[in-house]
Amino acid sequence: MSRTISGATRVAGVAGRPVAHSLSPILHNAWLEAAGIDGVYVALEVGEDGFAAFVEGLRRTSWAGVNVTLPFKEAALTVADEAHPRAQRARAANLLVFGDGGRVRADNTDGLGLATAFAEQAPQFDARSGPVVVLGAGGAARGAVAALQDAGCRDVRIVNRTLARAEALAADLGGGAAAWGDAETALQSAVAVINATSAGVADGLTLDAPLAATPAGCVVMDMVYMPLVTPFLALAKALGRPTVDGLAMLIGQARPSFEAFYGQPPPANLDVRALALKALGA
């Protein structure tokens, strides 16, 4: 069934760089169609230094808002007039909603998506049961660290290529910071490890993480979902570790975003994971 775009169509989207690979438009547009909402959701690539101008240009239009992806999640918080406490804590936002008079409200639903993904694919995981290693220190890592702490994790270990960025995150939110060379030590007693780096997304590099150092039963999660089974997850599977994929997180963070844009939760009975898997060719 094709939809008609009218003058009243409510527009939202995802802004990032690169963004053409995003599956978010597939999820949101499928939900819009199933719910019979006059809305549309598009992907917008934003120039490297253009994020603030982009938001400034849209905030007083009829746009509902935007999801924000890499590398703008930290910038997204700074352009907002108000922010949900979880976004303030993470100092990063993945959701901007444009309100009356051009007010911009920021939120961070990545943590909700992460929790949903673990609940679906590794229900045995208990964040209170031991150390969790987060690889990366960008906007997504910030959301993950805050969500893990909210779930009761008292030992979050942030490992990043640029140590200073890991230290800055740990100074903001708490947790330990380590350089990439110390990943093996950090992983040795971990109950879970989460890849929140963008390695491989645009640079073609494969993440070189010493997963063999993890103990049996350590849950391995990759926020990257393209391909669904990344080399990181393939290595975890080969080691016999339980895994959680990034697609489950993407869908988990998209649900509250949809509700914020279109005023109602997405239809529960539509299998958007199957649609996304088809798009991924998985």
C-alpha neighbours within 13 Å on the C-beta side of residue 251: 26
Q: How many residues does the chain have?
A: 282
Residue 91 or 105 with smaller CB distance to ligand NAP? 91
Minimum distance, C-beta of residue 15 to ligand NAP, in the bound complex (Å) = 12
Residue 24 or 149 with smaller CB distance to ligand NAP? 24
Catalytic entry in 10, 28, 59, 73: 73
Minimum distance, C-beta of residue 104 to ligand NAP, in the bound complex (Å) = 19
Which of 274, 161, 160 has its CA nearest to residue 228?
274
Minimum distance, C-beta of residue 23 to ligand NAP, in the bound complex (Å) = 9
**Closest residue by beta carbon to ligand NAP:** 138
Residue 3 or 17 with smaller CB distance to ligand NAP? 17
Q: Which residue has the tokens 């391909």?
A: 227
User: Residue 73 catalytic?
Assistant: yes
Minimum distance, C-beta of residue 20 to ligand NAP, in the bound complex (Å) = 12
Alpha-carbon separation of residue 274 from 31, 85, 114, 182, 266 (angstroms):
13, 33, 19, 38, 16
Residue 72 or 98 with smaller CB distance to ligand NAP? 72
Footprint of ligand NAP (CB under 6 A)? 70-71, 73, 110, 113, 136-141, 160-162, 165, 196-199, 201, 203, 205, 207, 223-225, 246, 249-250, 253
Cβ-in-10-Å burial (0-12, 13-18, 19+) of 120 comes to middle
- Report which DSSP code applies to 42: E
Cα 61 from Cα 88, distance rounded (Å): 25
Which residues form the catalytic set? 73
